[in-house]
Amino acid sequence: MSAARRMMVAGNWKMNGNTASMTELQAMMDGVGDTPAVDVLICPPFPLIGRFSGASEGRGIGIGAQDCHFNKSGAHTGDVSAALLADVGAKAVIVGHSERRADHTEVDDLVQAKAQAALDAGLTAIVCVGETEAERDAGEAEAVVLAQLSGSLPASGVEHVVVAYEPVWAIGTGRVPSIEDITTMHAAIRRAVVDHYGDAGNGVRLLYGGSVKPGNAAEIFAIEDVDGGLIGGASLKADDFLGIVNAGIAQV
Ligand code: 13P
């Protein structure tokens, strides 16, 4: 982490949770307190966003979404606009997650348009990038990630852009790149973000995602250009998630 950037710990609930999960959210809010030293975000499935936002008003956890459409409104059955997400209380939206790139063939141009729509709606855009195992084995990890970045980052709005590096092979597998590999990749991402935005790129938070757990969060968060994490499985249970949030707070 760096003293210049505020740490962020974001939970991506993916297609998990239901109305009963409010109990888990409450436990998380109680554990985090109302003024945590890091930004804490939970991104539940769309139908829970309004309810969760209402319950978290004035508390220390913000609510985000996992996707949005790039248009403000219109004939797009099944889609949700960034403007509506903001209207129901979301503060952020994840765009370009590898599961959406794979399941919905989302390409960089589309991810960029979604990120721009998020910014236009006043949301933080968490732009995800990451290589597959085959790409890493072929020695192409950095090239793939930098190409995704240059295609997916919006042109402006840098203050509200967050980048999440999530190696696809580390997601939900319990496998994590070495500290050295994360350090190298985040440094390369930092250089690319500064190339893209100029000096302001030094203020962009770079999250690591992929099998972050309470037991490994501290050493990952200690890396210079890691400004927090995007957490999947370990964000579903308050105990695990709070352990990771506390590892973030310990860096401050
Ligand atoms: P896991 O933490 O379950 O590996 O998921 C990471 C992720 O995809 C977060 O967006």
CATH top-level class of 8-249: alpha beta
Find the residues whose C-beta lies inside 6 A of ligand 1. 12, 97, 166, 171-172, 209-212, 230-234
Does the pLDDT value for residue 31 go beyond 70? yes
- To which residue do tokens 């409450």 refer? 26
CA dihedral 185, 138, 104, 176 (to 10 degrees): -50
Of the candidates 97, 99, 131, 186, the residue annotated as catalytic is 97
Q: What is the pLDDT of residue 4?
A: 85
Contact (Cβ atoms closer than 8 angstroms) between residue 49 and residue 85: yes
Q: Determine whether 166 is an active site residue.
A: yes
Alpha helices in 57-211 (DSSP H): 82-87, 98-103, 108-120, 133-137, 141-152, 179-197
Does the pLDDT value for residue 3 go beyond 80? no
Tell me if the pTM is above 0.85: yes
Does the pLDDT value for residue 143 go beyond 70? yes
Contact (Cβ atoms closer than 8 angstroms) between residue 64 and residue 42: yes
Contact (Cβ atoms closer than 8 angstroms) between residue 93 and residue 83: no
Does the pLDDT value for residue 63 go beyond 80? yes
Determine the distance separating the centroid of ligand 1 and the alpha carbon of 179, expressed in angstroms. 17
Dump pLDDT digits (tens) for 200-218.
999 999 999 999 999 999 9
Dump pLDDT digits (tens) for 218-238.
999 999 999 999 999 999 999
The residue whose CB lies within 8 Å of the most ligand 1 atoms, and thus the one to mutate among 8, 12, 220, is 12
Strands (DSSP E) contained in the chain are: 8-12, 39-43, 61-65, 92-95, 124-129, 161-165, 205-209, 228-231
The domain limits of the chain are 8-249
Q: Determine whether 97 is an active site residue.
A: yes
Dump pLDDT digits (tens) for 153-188.
999 999 999 999 999 999 999 999 999 999 999 999
Range 102-111 average pLDDT: 98
